[in-house]
Amino acid sequence: MHLLDGKQLAATIREETAQAVEEFVSRHGKRPGLAAVLVGDDPASHIYVKNKRKACEKVGMASWLHSLPASTPQAELLQLVQKLNQDPQVHGILVQLPLPKHIDEATVVRAVSPLKDVDGFGPENLGLLAAGHPRYLPCTPHGCQQLLLRNNIEIDGANVVIVGRSNIVGKPLALILMQKAKGANATVTVCHSRTRDIPHWTRQADIVVVAIGRPRFLTADMIRPGAVVIDVGINRLEDGSLVGDVDFEPVAKIASAITPVPGGVGPMTIAMLLHNTLCAARLQIEQRS
Ligand code: NAP
């Protein structure tokens, strides 16, 4: 069994990005920059944003934090997003989700300029991906694809079963892996909470991806020997430990390759965010010149 080490691969991608950032700076005389917007005091969101900003700074990007109280009216948040849309120093805008209940997330996501939408969640970027002309790929699914590709796992022609159809993981991952392009071209099946017999589908897969948020959901009897398993889930148990959506030890015994949790898909998400921010800076510079 081959362990798909996301921590190490993310470090490699960050190094590549850091080098590309320096080339960008010497060419254009400015740094790619990411503005993070955080509303409220959700402790997990604070940690995510802190880690994302730290990662930006480590690769030589500029980063700004706009921290607003939970009571911020939606109109005020939209005003800030508009200001960031117009700021030429800001190439990427990250609005950390979830937002407080009185704010409509879809409205805020749509307000981010498509060229600065480095999460790739907005309708223009998702639409481009669905149409087969991707601009920025959503970070977590892009990280899953990179984990496969850079470990020489054949995606072209593979049977891929994705469990989970969220807008941030399962659905965009299906779109990415079925692109008519090298490093994709998979036959993709997407399962969800209304799928009748999930093991029937997962047992046929060359590659199984689980992204549902249910601890140890995928058990060894649900895969075929030699399958590749990507575990996107992050679940904190009562004893404080972190586990994925895969019953790791028994599944690892029969899988040909598997991601650990933590240290698998998680670190890849931030690495791909940095990658998108650099792409955004390049696109915006090109548009202005
Ligand atoms: P989500 O928005 O809650 O979506 C969960 C999806 O799983 C839904 O499509 C749901 O089906 C499906 N589902 C739930 N229970 C199921 C079951 N018993 N059988 C089959 N399908 C089931 O979750 P998400 O945001 O995609 O996140 C999923 C997991 O990935 C979470 O653990 C999250 O923490 C983790 N995550 C990790 C990263 C990372 O960087 N590693 C990033 C994002 C998320 P329906 O659509 O039918 O409701």
DSSP code per residue over 67-98: EE-TT--HHHHHHHHHHHHH-TT--EEEEPSS
Distance from the alpha carbon of residue 166 to the mean position of ligand 1, in angstroms? 6
The percentage of residues in the chain with a pLDDT greater than 70, rounded to a whole number, is 100
Is 116 known to be catalytic? no
- Ligand 1 close to Cβ of residue 234 (< 6 A): yes
Residue nearest (by alpha carbon) to ligand 1 atom 1: 166
**Amino acid at the residue 108:** V
How far, in Å, is the centroid of ligand 1 from the Cα of 212? 3
Nearest CA to ligand 1 atom 18: 193
For ligand 1, the distance from its centroid to the CA atom of residue 90, given in whole angstroms, is 31
CA 191 to centroid of ligand 1, rounded, Å: 11
Strands of 207-210's sheet in order across: 2-3, 257-258, 228-231, 207-210, 159-163, 187-191
Q: Report d(CA 182, CA 185) in Å as an integer.
A: 7
Which residue in 116, 117, 119, 171 is the catalytic one? Answer: 119
* CA 85 / ligand 1 centre spacing (Å): 30
245 annotated active-site: no
Ligand 1 centre distance from Cα of residue 243 (Å)? 14
Ligand 1 neighbour 235 (Cβ under 6 A)? yes
Question: Which pTM was predicted?
Answer: 0.97
The H or E element containing residue 38 is: strand 33-39
Of the residues 169, 171, 194, 217, which should be mutated to test ligand 1's pocket, given the most ligand atoms within 8 Å of the CB?
A: 169
User: Is 52 an annotated catalytic residue?
Assistant: yes
Residue 223 Cβ inside 6 Å of ligand 1? The answer reads no
Question: What pLDDT shows up at residue 286?
Answer: 80
Q: Three-state DSSP class for 243?
A: strand
Indicate if ligand 1 lies below 6 Å from the C-beta of 214: yes
Q: Give the C-alpha distances (Å, rounded to integers) separating 160 from 10, 187, 228, 273.
A: 23, 6, 9, 24
| Ligand 1 near 163 CB (within 6 A) | yes
pLDDT of residue 287: 80
Pocket test for ligand 1, best of 47, 232, 243 (most atoms within 8 A of CB): 232
Nearest to 24 by CA among 56, 60, 63: 60
- What pLDDT does residue 288 have? 74
Amino acid occupying residue 276: N
Which regions of the chain are under pLDDT 50? none
pLDDT at 99 (0 to 100): 97
CA nearest 100: which of 74, 126, 131?
Answer: 74
234-238's contacts with Cβ under 8 Å and 24+ in sequence apart are 234/261, 234/262, 234/266
Q: Which domains does the chain have, with CATH numbers?
A: 29-114 (3.40.50.10860), 139-266 (3.40.50.720)
